[in-house]
Structure 1
Amino acid sequence: MVVGFRGSLDRSTAPTLRETVISELAKGPDLVVVDLSDVDFWDACGMSAVLVAYKRCRANGTALGLAGLHGSAETSYRATHLDSVIPTYPDVASAVAHWAAAA
């Protein structure tokens, strides 16, 4: 399952991402890929929303990956070392292919 997001991921929009991922978990997917290729900015609230989504996915037995992270968002993500916890992929196709090969 792919969840896309556009624009800024900040205090006002982060809850939308978090709640979307959580509601999609009710469908029982094995994998959720969050497509961030159209995100131009994120702050600590955005990172927190991704981390909460990851924890909920993990508790549900669902894998979570991030796709398309770029620019300053990617730089800040890697600086926090969250990339060692939540895998990132250049694009959605790469994320799906990785998880399909691992299954």
Structure 2
Amino acid sequence: MHFLTYSLLRLAVLVAVFLLSMWLGVGLILSGIAAVAISFAVSYLFFPRLHAAAGDEFRGWISRTPRPRNRVALEDQEVEDAYVDRRLREEGRES
């Protein structure tokens, strides 16, 4: 939910700055560049907690392997990872 909120907030700032720049007669390309730069700066400086929460949420979405929820599954995963790493070292291919 944080990722969607942060993205919509940033898009709203981008559109507002772009429309304001176009209304002032700055030009299409310069308005676009200004809108991107200002929306990045405003969202990064004034919404740092939302930025961090959105980043954590996105990182969770793209993680390749889900983290086990219980202790036994976590221990099993660590043993399997150690075994694979050892086999790769024995074959001469480091991970």
TM-score between the two structures when normalised by the length of structure 1: 0.25
Larger fraction in helix: 2
TM-score between the two structures when normalised by the length of structure 2: 0.26
Larger fraction in strand: 1
Greater radius of gyration (CA): 2
